[in-house]
Amino acid sequence: MAESQIRGKSIQAVAKDIAEGFFSVNPLILKKFGPEDYKALHHQLKKIQNEVRSEKFPLHDTLAIRSRNNRLQRLHSALIVLEHSAREKRVPL
């Protein structure tokens, strides 16, 4: 089975780009996705979200706290858009 790609990048690379803010998820991008692509991207987003949460929390560094929270917010919003689009297309995640 070939690795799924989005705009020439692997699903894992796209999930990291979403967390860093280089790529945004919207319904137009998800329109071309098949059921396996939904599941793969959902899995990778959850995995990256857990990695960010498991990192040591920077107690006295406000810029690091802001960066961490922004990554979590981007991942959460991408997951919400992905889950809503999957629900519309009746794709079980």
pLDDT at 93: 86
Give the domain ranges of the chain: 5-88
CB atoms within 10 A of CB 60: 6
State pLDDT tens for residues 15-66.
999 999 999 999 998 998 899 999 999 999 999 999 999 999 989 999 999 9
Cα–Cα distance for residue pair 83/87, rounded to 1 Å: 6
Q: Is pTM beyond 0.85 here?
A: yes
- Poorest-confidence range of 5-14, 15-24, 46-55, 83-92? 5-14
